[in-house]
A and B are shown apart, each in its own frame.
Chain A
Amino acid sequence: MKAPRFSRKTLCIPYAVFLLFFVIAPMLIILAYAFTDREMHFSVMNFVRFFSDPSKLSTIVYSIVIALITTVVCLLIAFPVAYILARSKMKKKFVIVMLFVLPMWINFVLRINAIRELFNWIGILGQANYFNTVFGMVYDFLPFMILPPYTTMLKIDDSLYEACSDLGGNGFTSFARITLPLSKPGILSGVTMVFLPSMTNYVVSDMLGNSKVTIIGKFIYEYFESDWHMGSMVALILLIVVFVSTLLSGGFKSEENVRGANL
Chain B
Amino acid sequence: MKKRGYILLAALFLLPSVLPLLAGCADDTVELRVYSWEEYIDEGGEGALLYDELHLTDEAGAAVPSDLIGDDYKSWYEDAMGTPLSEDGPAILEDFELWYAKTYPDRPRVKVKYSTFGTNEDMYNKIMLGKEYDLLCPSDYMIMKLAAEGRLTPYDEDFFLTEGEGSENNYYAKNVSPYIDGVFANGKVTIKTEDGSEEKAWREYAAGYMWGTTGFVYNPEYVDREELENLGWSAFTNKSYANKITAKDNVRDTYFAALGVTYQEEKHNQISSLSDLEKQYTANELSAEEYNAAVTRIFNATDEETVDAVEPYLMAIKQNIYGFETDTGKTDLASGKIWLNYAWSGDAVYVMSLAEEENDTELDYYVPSAGSNLWFDGWVMTKNVEKRKTKHAAQAFVNFLSMPENAMRNSYYIGYTSAIGGEKMFDYASYLYADDEAEDPVEYDLKYFFGEDLDAVLTADRADTLHGQLFAQYPSTDIIDRCAVMNYFDAATSERINELWAHVKAEKLDAWAITVIVVSAVAIVLGVIFAKFGHKIDFFRRKPKKGYTLVKQQDPIRI
Q: List chain A positions with a Cβ less than 8 A from chain B.
A: 2, 4-7, 10, 13-14, 17, 38, 53-59, 61-62, 120, 125-127, 129, 160, 206-207, 209-214, 218-219, 222-227, 230, 244, 247-248
Contacts and interface: CB of A to CB of B under 8 A. Distances in A.
Given A17-B13, A54-B514, A211 B324 contact: yes
Q: What's the dominant secondary structure at chain A's contact region?
A: helix
B522 to A, nearest CB: 10
A10 B6 contact: yes
Given A56-B506, A120-B337, A214-B506, A10 B2 contact: yes
B505 interface: yes
B507 interface: yes
Contacts of B528: 247-248
A209 B508 CA distance: 16
**Range of interface residues on chain B?**
35 or more
The 5 nearest A-B residue pairs measured at CB: A210-B323, A211-B324, A55-B506, A225-B121, A58-B509
Nearest to B12: A14
Given A4-B1, A6-B5, 14 more contacts: A2-B1, A53-B502, A54-B508, A55-B502, A57-B514, A58-B506, A62-B507, A126-B322, A209-B323, A210-B324, A212-B321, A214-B505, A226-B121, A226-B494
Contact of A212 (B119, B318, B491): B318
A57 B69 CA distance: 62
A187 B44 CA distance: 54
B502 A206 contact: no
B525 A4 contact: no
A244 B509 contact: no
B503 interface: yes
B328 A223 contact: no
A212 B318 CA distance: 8
Interface in B476-497: 491, 494-495
A227 B494 contact: yes
Contacts of A10: 2, 5-6, 9
B78 interface: no
B249 interface: yes
B4 A4 contact: yes
Contacts of B2: 7, 10
Contacts of B5: 4-7, 10
19 contacts: A2-B1, A4-B4, A17-B13, A53-B503, A55-B502, A55-B503, A56-B506, A59-B502, A61-B514, A61-B517, A120-B337, A126-B323, A209-B323, A210-B323, A211-B325, A225-B251, A226-B121, A248-B524, A248-B528
B498 A58 contact: no
B507 A125 contact: no
A73 B318 CA distance: 29
Nearest to A211: B324
Interface in B70-100: none
Contacts of B505: 211, 214, 218-219, 222
Contact of A222 (B491, B501, B529, B559): B501
Contact of B507 (A6, A58, A127, A225): A58
Contacts of B495: 227
Contacts of A126: 243, 322-323, 337
B3 to A, nearest CB: 10
Contacts of B22: none
B8 A4 contact: yes
B518 interface: yes
Which one of B119, B249, B524, B529 has the greatest number of beta carbons of chain A within 10 Å?
A: B249
B253 to A, nearest CB: 13
Contacts of B250: 225
A212 B6 contact: no
